[in-house]
Structure 1
Amino acid sequence: MPDLTLGFDTSAAHCAAALLSGDDCLVSRHEEMGRGQAERLMPLLEEVLAEAGVGWRDLTRIGVGIGPGNFTGVRIAVSAARGLSLSLRAPALGVSITDAAQFGSEGPVLAAVAAPRERVYLDGFRTAQAIPLDLHELDALPEGLAEPGLTCIGSAAEEVAQRIGSTAAPAAFAPAEAIARIAASREFIPGERPAPLYLRAADAAPPSDPPPRILD
């Protein structure tokens, strides 16, 4: 049997998974949900495996979306991937959601993924000038992003393309399938584990009240 790669992602308002057998996608599931990913992820993965007629021990590799995205969602998926990797002794590889968005595309691409509060994650691929992954305000996008042949891809592609005078295109693959395909093709470095990719501090702030006094 060809290598089996399980990819999944909960970095946005969805719970998604895909199973590859070599280059063939056996099962792909994508469920939109604003919350509940922690409860839904493992049952969804079990359903994907069952639909393909395979078990956990048949997996040879795991791919997981590491963000950037929702803090809790990223932690859910990364923790699951680490636990599965340890228990199954199968390598787990982290894939950024912007890399997944542009996977399968050609030419210069600006991956544009929606972020909360009218912001967007931008990441350039094969662009004339380097466009490093970063978080930007939609109303204050950097100048000089557009270039000949540039295509915007991702959940915020239409809006970004309109603002910079470029074109938008759909992703070649659903997020989980792209993650699985990238993980299947990427070299695994022993000892490396998936880690959350955060570009901003958590929204939750520590309490401003002083700590309680401890009396002897």
Structure 2
Amino acid sequence: MTSAPIVLAFDTASARCAVAVTRGDDVLAWRVEEMAKGQAERLLVICSEVLDEAGITLADIDVIGVGIGPGNFTGIRISVSAARGLALGLNIPAVGVTAFDALGYGQTAPFACAVDARRDHIYFQITAEDGSTSDAAIIRLEDCPPHEGPLIGAGGRQATLPIAVAIAHLAGARRNDTPQRPAPFYLRPADAAPAKDAPPKILT
């Protein structure tokens, strides 16, 4: 009998650091810290604190789950870099999960997902009743197209689970899908040059 995987998942695609640790369907610990900047300095600190709360060490982790966007350019870059580094150092898979998949986790299709893109815009995707999805797009909030089912996320109802918890569950389920290294999922170019601060250093 194979034991349930232990997953460390995190997301910094918006103005927050969200971290969770799960074992199979069980949520061992999770935390969200709202912050407009400073994710690079706080992410691994919060990961360490959440692992301690869960009674888990890095050596126990089987999978890294990471939010790949869409969202803030620098925030996505920080979390994806951290996930790649941790996965390499621990020799475990890292699984990227889009914000749309995390928002839609546990929802019954049909529905639509929206992520705040700032400046009165949203990142938008529709999931049809058969589970198929539309192409992700960035649109004005007022131009949100008609769709069946509820809107989840920005301008709509809350997701079923906290973002990092949903990412952890999805990463655990997808860990054997021979995932490639997680890569940022951008729907528009960065508003400015990447921040000068380096991604967090991975200590192993």
Q: Shorter-chain TM-score: which interval?
A: 0.7 to 0.9
Partner of 1:179: 167
Task: Give me the TM-score of the superposition, normalised by structure 2.
Answer: 0.88
TM alignment of 1:1-216, pairs within 5 A = 2-127=4-129, 131-142=134-145, 145-147=146-148, 150-157=149-156, 169-190=157-178, 192-204=180-192
Report which of the two structures shows the higher radius of gyration computed on alpha carbons. Answer: 1
Instruction: Give aligned pairs, total.
Output: 190
**What's the CA shift for 1:203?**
1.2
Percent of aligned pairs with the same residue?
A: 46
Pairwise CA distance, 1:25? 0.2
- Check the 8 A contact 2:19/2:30 in 1, yes or no: yes
CA shift for structure 1 position 170: 1.9
Normalised to the residue count of structure 1, the TM-score between the two structures is: 0.83
Q: Which structure 1 residue ranges, 4+ long, deviate > 2 Å from structure 2?
A: 126-131, 139-142, 187-191
What is the aligned-residue RMSD (CA, Å)? 1.7
Q: Deviations over 1:175-195 (max 9, x none)?
A: 000000000111534461000
Q: How many Å separate the matches in 2 of 1:132 and 1:173?
A: 24
Structure 1, unaligned runs of 5 or more: 158-168, 206-216
8 Å Cα contact 1:68-1:198 kept in structure 2 = yes
**Higher RCO (CA 8 Å, separation ≥ 6 residues):** 2
Shift of 1:121: 0.7
| Structure 2: gaps of 5 or more residues | 194-204
Distance 1:134 1:70 in 2: 15
Distance 1:130 1:92, change over 3 A: closer
Instruction: Give CA-to-partner distance per residue, 1:18-55, whole Å, 9 cap, x none.
Output: 00011100001011111110000000000011111111
